[in-house]
Structure formats: structure tokens, C-alpha cells
Amino acid sequence: MAVRLSDTEHYEALLDKYDTWMFDCDGVLWHGDRLIEGAVQVLDMLRKRGKRLLFVTNNATKSRRSYKTKFDQLGIEAHVDEIYGSAYAAAVYISSVMKLPKDKKVYVIGMSGLEEELRNEGVSYVGGTDPADCTLESFSLADFTPDPDVAAVLCGLDTAINYTKLSKAFHYLHRGPSCQFLVTSEDSTIPSTHGLLPGIGAVSALLRFALNRDPLSVGKPAKTMLDCIQAKVHFDPKRTIMIGDRLNTDILFGQTGGLATLLVLTGVTSEENITGPNASTIVPDYVTPSIADLRLAKSS
């Protein structure tokens, strides 16, 4: 059963117990372009107490560099080497784990941030933001010349998704089982300032259904993301806590990696998801209404 944090003693004990704090962003620190009240003060307090902060997000629309710009705009102190996005994890996976040959390419459903991370890792790609793919014109295989060097399809969130992109991705995957099928995450929805929107899991579901084939996900809750972080940052899992708003990604990610988990209720997960007859089987170690509640520890 999850521990309900409610008073100064609880929050002080939490601060004493963990040295590395991993945060999801959307739904934990902000909603869209709106800060969650108290988030900046809590992060500042953690830094002053000597805690290591890491920001772990399934948002694949931005590179780490461009994500840093969002932190700056919202007044949150963050450094590029503290930010781990699923776009970065996917690029590292393709270059360092798959070891995609230099003469091979990735077909991308995604946005400029994903392309930037692929370039930084020396991964060649087609598709993505190419104007030829960003079209609402009808698609026909008769007019399509496949690139013979494409050896993988990578799906990230793409707010300009269309039939042309889906058809090209389907063709590359359908023509040969050796073509790798990767997704940056399997989030069914994403939070925005004005409510929930379909996530990359909803987009890739079209391909999964058409192909009758499951992709490899490199974002939370997959351990691939944690492996990517551990390759860059040394931390003790027993002294590390993952804070998130989504049970089946953030909390499961922490549990899979042997980390403690703290669920906040400012995002996707509501009280009815963790209590009652239809409660999730994924149970966090701790629950608090908002990350801002950690400010209670400041008075000690």
C-alpha cells in the first residue's frame, strides 16, 4: 500500500532517504506552458540540499537542447545533461545498441527535436519534417520510390501525422521483417494546457494493427531509458526516487529500475485510479497531491 504523504515529518523523511530525484515533466512540473504552483521552489530547495536532479520525459517532439529552452522560459533551473528525453534515448539506442551501419537509414515519423537527436548521434534518416512527407495529398505506391537503405522505422509524436507518413512507414516494415520497428514511447495520451490529447501510443497503434506487430519502445517504462541514463550518470538506485503523474509509465519505469516511486495527482492519474474497486495494480511507494507539497519540508 502506498504511503500517503501529509505532514512535515513525512516530507523530511523523504528528503533524507533519497539523493537522486528523477522527475517527469508534463503533469508534474507543468501543464503545457503553465507551471504547477510551487514546482520551482521545490526544485530550488532540493538543489540547496545537495540533491541530484534529473528530468526524464517521454516527450519526443523536442531535443534536450530545445527542451532546455522550455525550462528557461518557465524559470526552472535545468542543465542539458540533466535532461533525458525519449528522442535522445531512441537516438542513443539506434547508434549504440542497434549499432545501425552508417550506410543505413531510419524512416522517421516525428518532429524536428527527434531529428536533431538523431543527427547528434550520427544517424541518417528520411521522412520526418521533409516537406514531401508533410502533405495532405493522396498517397499512392505507384508514385513512391522506397529508399533501399532504410533499415528501421522510428515513431515519435508527430502533430502533422498524415496518411503519407503512415503508408511509407507501413511499407518499409511490411516489405521485410528485418526492418526494425521502434517507438519513442507508448503513451496513449499526453497532457496539454487545456486537457488530454492523443499520444504516440495512439499514433503507432495504427501501424501495430495494420502490421500485427509490436514495436520496441525505448521510452518510459522501458528499461532502455534507464540504461541510457545510467550510461551517463552514476547513481545508487536504492537512494533514487522517480516522481511522476502516470502509473503505467512513470511509476512502472521506477519500479522496473528498482527505484522508489512518488505519484503526484496533478496530471493523468486521479484518486479513483489508485483506490476503490477499479484501482490499478501498479502501486507507487508514495502519493502526494502535488509536488508543491514538498515545500512543507522547508520549515524544518
At 85, list the grid cell: 528525453
The alpha carbon dihedral of 131, 212, 191, 240 has a sign of negative
The DSSP secondary-structure symbol of 126 reads E
Query: What are the angstrom distances between the C-alpha of 281 and each of 33, 138, 212?
Result: 32, 44, 27
Residue 61 contacts residue 156 (beta carbons within 8 Å): yes
Helices (H), 3-102: 8-17, 39-48, 64-73, 86-92
Where do the DSSP E strands lie in the chain? 3-4, 20-23, 30-31, 34-35, 52-57, 83-85, 105-109, 124-127, 150-155, 180-183, 189-192, 195-198, 216-217, 240-244, 260-264, 286-288
Pairing of strands 150-155, 105-109: parallel
Task: Report the alpha-carbon distance of residue 211 to residue 245 in Å, rounded.
Answer: 31
Three-state SS string over 82-96 comes to: HEEEHHHHHHHHHHH
User: What is the Cα Rg of the chain in Å?
Assistant: 20
Q: Give yes or no: 19 in active site.
A: yes
- Residue where the block lists cell 484501482: 279
Q: Which of 7, 16, 19, 149 is catalytic?
A: 19
Residue 185 contacts residue 217 (beta carbons within 8 Å): yes
Task: Identify which of 69, 87, 86 has the alpha carbon closest to the alpha carbon of residue 123.
Answer: 87
User: Which residues carry out catalysis?
Assistant: 19
